[in-house]
Amino acid sequence: MEPIPTLPVVPSLLVVVAAVLAGLVAAGFALVWRRERSRRLAAERQAAAAAHRLAGATAAMREAMSVYDAAGRPAWINPAFERFTGFTLEELAERPALDYVHAEERAALLARWPELQTAGAALEAEYRITTRWGEQRWAAGVWTARLDPQGRVDGCIGVETDVTARRRADETLQRDAALFQTIAEAQQAIGAAGLDSTAVMHAIAERSRALTAAAGASIEEVQGDWLVTRVASGVAAERVPLGASLSGLAVRTGALQRSDDAIDDRRVDRATYMPLAIRSLLVLPLPAEGRTTHVLKVVSLEARAFGEREERVLQLLAGLMGAALRHAAVFELRQQRLEERTRALQESEQRFKQLVDAAQEGIWVLDDRGVTTYVNHRMAELLGHPNGDILGRPLADFLDAASRAEVQRGLAERPAGPRRLDLRFRRKDGADLWTIVATSPILARDGAFVGTVGLVTDITERKRAEDQLRRSAERLRTLHDIDQAVLAARSPAEIARAALGRLKRLVPVQRCSITLFDFAHDQVQVVAGYTGGLPLAALPIPLSAFSSPEVLRRGVVRYVEDLASLEPRPPLYEQLLGEGVRSLLSVPLLVDGEAIGELNLGLGQPGAVEPEHRDIAVEVAAPLAIAIQHARLRDELRRRTAELERRIAERSAELQEAVLELEGFAHAIGHDLRAPLRHVHGFIQLLLAEHGRRLDEPARHYAERVRDAARDLGTMMDALLLLARVSRQDLLRRPTPLDAVVEEVLLQLQPEWEERQIDWQVDALPTVDCDPALARLAVEQLVSNAVKFTRPRSRACIRIAAARQEGLAGLLVQDNGIGFRMTYADKLFGTFQRLHPSEAFEGAGIGLALVRRIAERHGGRAWAEGEPDQGATVHLLLGPETGA
């Protein structure tokens, strides 16, 4: 341990200080005492002489004199007496003898008074008196017998000197001497407390408490914003705020603080002290190195318990206390550092030990000839040899051939600095130990090569992991490859071939196949397969060739370690055995938990299927199953689609034919039938016009009937043609303002109602996305109908308003015409359907059919509402409303 030179100084210094102090005190006291005593004796002698000389007294004397007669009654006093005691002679006479003397001393004095009966007798005493105004003073009294002129004793004379001042000084001095004594003791005690700071503090607190007669004392330490009690004597430990306490004030000012009554002292942390009934506090900062880190605090339950004396006491101690604390602290710090250093050293030793012995690194030391001089525990463990086997042998003995050569080369070069070698050791059990060896030459002080130290790191695991990683990467690549191939393939057979072709790279198979189950036909279909490198025929295998068809359904991985050892063998296994397969692994192809087929791997040796092969097969089987299922679904879909397309084509052809027929029909009506009709009409007209006069009445009537029928037929054909055209014509949608359409139609149809009175009400109409030409045609029909069917009304009302429904817009036409029965509402829209005799309302009876057809072409709707004789409302919705 490092010596701490200041240590012994502390106690010796204390002792010296204490001794010096004590000496000073004693010397001072002796000096004062002697001087005072001699002065007093002189005064006494003077007083006695004066009393003797000036019996009868003089008024000018400074000593108080009193004369008592033989009966003991006061006979005379001098003015000094009166000044001293305050009593007049009369007052003195009224009181018992020596009543002014303090009761404690009076009895003794009175007891000795009879001594004064003897001439020449004298009585000296110091005693306290109580003055007339109640003050206590000290008197030094000299009492002598009073002689009459005959020399007989006749009373006594007292000469009393005021010695109050002297007595008080004595008392103070005595107290101070005691104080110094106590302080010295305190210092000794503190010094004796040694170097433990807590013990020092305890001593300080105890002594301070004793010295100030305090109820309690404590030492508080600054900790952040608080003062925390480190040690306490007679009080509880506490925590007071630095900012709002007397202790804090002492810390901040570095000056002693006193509170005489905590109750009304704002500087005091009253919250802490009130509950403790503490009234007086005295706080002394204990500065150390210019900073106050501790305070000494004494408390009392009495108000004004501490005065200047206590302050002085503590201040006297303060310097010592601070020093003692500082030393203790320094000592503790050093002690602590030493311990830490020792601990660190121990730890470092421990670490080194661990490094060498327990580390994962092997350590190998060779001498300059390459002979092993040291191997650590780990190295021996790595090699599987006991330490003793290795020592004294060359490194090369434990290396494989390639590494040996490398080491020979390395040693021949004798490198000056560290090197790194990849060495392969041979373990005792024959296994390889892959290592990285970091070597450093060991050089003597003179720089001579004395050996080599090598740190041997076992990387066998890493090598193995790398190897595994490489194989796994390869496997992944192949699996990915399979996935890709499987994705690219179109038919189950292609998928299966792609998967097997790549799988063969990973697993050394003699035979492999992918089969799909066809339980419906009791067979298993070979989708693809290879045996001895040649493709297998894609033939179905009957289920009976398997040992148990049920096991196929179950969808479990099956492994036959040796087909040869299986008895009895199902026919399939017999065949496989014939193809050179010994061990067989079958992995189900599962789709939604259902086995749809199997991936079969046959290897040429019994028990040749390794866990890895199995993993690979399972990994391949999953995507394979899904891909095959997809392909099958795709095939199915294709078949269905083709079937659907075929049927659509058939249906289309039929439809086409029907359309053509219909068109032919329409054409026939429009053209082929038209011509003869025209001829009928033309010639009957000619007949009537040119020969009518020659015809008799019935003949002319018949001819007229023929003419009218031909005319009606023409009208109907025109209507049908129009209807056909509307159905066939391409729809040319564009935003069409129905306002404009209606306006146009009204203008066009105006001649039809010129003679009539019709109230037209046309509301604002929407702009609709529709074919304007067809819209116009429809509106034309609606308006024309309304005009037509209101003809019986003397005053017709026709309203055209907007219609909106289900996102479609259009218009409605409302009239107050003849109306219709709702039962016939649908019949209205039929072709050539009439609800009224044609004589009453002309037309082809196709108007609303046309309207409905136009609505339907637009994806819209047309319908009618009405009551007989109550008018009708026809709604037409053509398309979505547009903004324009």
Partner 1 sequence: MSDAVLQPREPIDLLVVSGSAADLELTLLSLAQCELGGRLAVARDGEAALELLLGAGGPRDDGRPAGLPRLVLLDLELPKLDGFEVLQQLKANPRTRMIPVVVFTSDADERDVVRCYQLGANSCVAKPVAFDAFRETVAELGRYWLRVSRPPFPAPGASPGRQG
Interface residue list for partner 1 (CB under 8 A): 667, 670-672, 674-679, 681-683, 685-686, 710-711, 714, 717-718, 721, 725, 729
Nearer to partner 1, 681 or 776 (CB): 681
- In the sheet with 372-375, reading across from the earlier edge strand, the strands are 372-375, 362-367, 449-458, 432-443, 419-426
Nearer to partner 1, 152 or 678 (CB): 678
Q: What is the four-CA torsion angle of 866, 868, 870, 873, rounded to 10 degrees?
A: 20
Nearer to partner 1, 407 or 726 (CB): 726
Residue 477 Rama label (left phi>0; alpha psi -120 to 50; beta): alpha
Nearer to partner 1, 619 or 771 (CB): 771
- The least CB distance from residue 745 to partner 1, in Å, is 21
Token pair listed for 510: 């003699």
> Which residue type does 749 have?
L
Nearer to partner 1, 415 or 682 (CB): 682
Q: Are 858 and 771 in contact (CB under 8 A)?
A: yes
- The least CB distance from residue 680 to partner 1, in Å, is 9
Nearer to partner 1, 159 or 710 (CB): 710
Nearer to partner 1, 671 or 691 (CB): 671
Question: Would you give the distance in Å from CA 112 to the centre of its chain?
Answer: 98
CB atoms within 10 A of CB 711: 15
Nearer to partner 1, 681 or 875 (CB): 681
- The least CB distance from residue 728 to partner 1, in Å, is 9
Closest CA to 142 of 124, 155, 163: 124
568 upstream amide cis, omega within 30 of 0? yes
- The least CB distance from residue 725 to partner 1, in Å, is 7
- Alpha helix (H) residue ranges in 609-670: 611-667
Question: Would you give the distance in Å from CA 657 to the centre of its chain?
Answer: 76
- The least CB distance from residue 703 to partner 1, in Å, is 13
d(CA 664, CA 669): 9
d(CA 16, CA 10): 10
Residue appearing with tokens 């049920």: 550
* Cβ within 8 Å of residue 367, ≥6 positions away: 373, 450, 451
d(CA 84, CA 66): 11
- The least CB distance from residue 676 to partner 1, in Å, is 8
d(CA 860, CA 876): 8
- The least CB distance from residue 723 to partner 1, in Å, is 13
Q: Are 414 and 441 in contact (CB under 8 A)?
A: yes
Nearer to partner 1, 500 or 717 (CB): 717
- The least CB distance from residue 772 to partner 1, in Å, is 16
Closest CA to 425 of 436, 416, 415: 436
User: In Å, how far are 73, 216, 488, 784, 873 from 820, measured between CA atoms?
Assistant: 164, 120, 69, 16, 10
- The least CB distance from residue 661 to partner 1, in Å, is 16
Nearer to partner 1, 40 or 667 (CB): 667
Nearer to partner 1, 480 or 671 (CB): 671
- The least CB distance from residue 688 to partner 1, in Å, is 10
d(CA 356, CA 362): 8
Nearer to partner 1, 608 or 720 (CB): 720
- The least CB distance from residue 840 to partner 1, in Å, is 22
Nearer to partner 1, 542 or 676 (CB): 676
Nearer to partner 1, 86 or 670 (CB): 670
- The least CB distance from residue 779 to partner 1, in Å, is 21
Strands 540-542 and 280-288: unpaired
Nearer to partner 1, 504 or 711 (CB): 711
Q: Are 235 and 216 in contact (CB under 8 A)?
A: yes
d(CA 701, CA 684): 12
DSSP string, 798-840: EEEEEEEETTEEEEEEEE-SS---GGGTTGGGSTT--SS-TTT
CB atoms within 10 A of CB 607: 12
- The least CB distance from residue 668 to partner 1, in Å, is 11
Nearer to partner 1, 387 or 715 (CB): 715
Strands 796-805 and 758-762: parallel
- The least CB distance from residue 591 to partner 1, in Å, is 56
User: In Å, how far are 286, 297, 713 from 240, measured between CA atoms?
Assistant: 17, 12, 123
Radius of gyration for the chain, computed over Cα atoms and rounded to the nearest angstrom: 70
Token pair listed for 681: 């009409």
Strands 872-879 and 808-815: antiparallel
Q: Are 230 and 215 in contact (CB under 8 A)?
A: no
- The least CB distance from residue 714 to partner 1, in Å, is 4
- The least CB distance from residue 528 to partner 1, in Å, is 58
Strands 808-815 and 796-805: antiparallel
Token pair listed for 104: 């404690």
d(CA 189, CA 191): 5
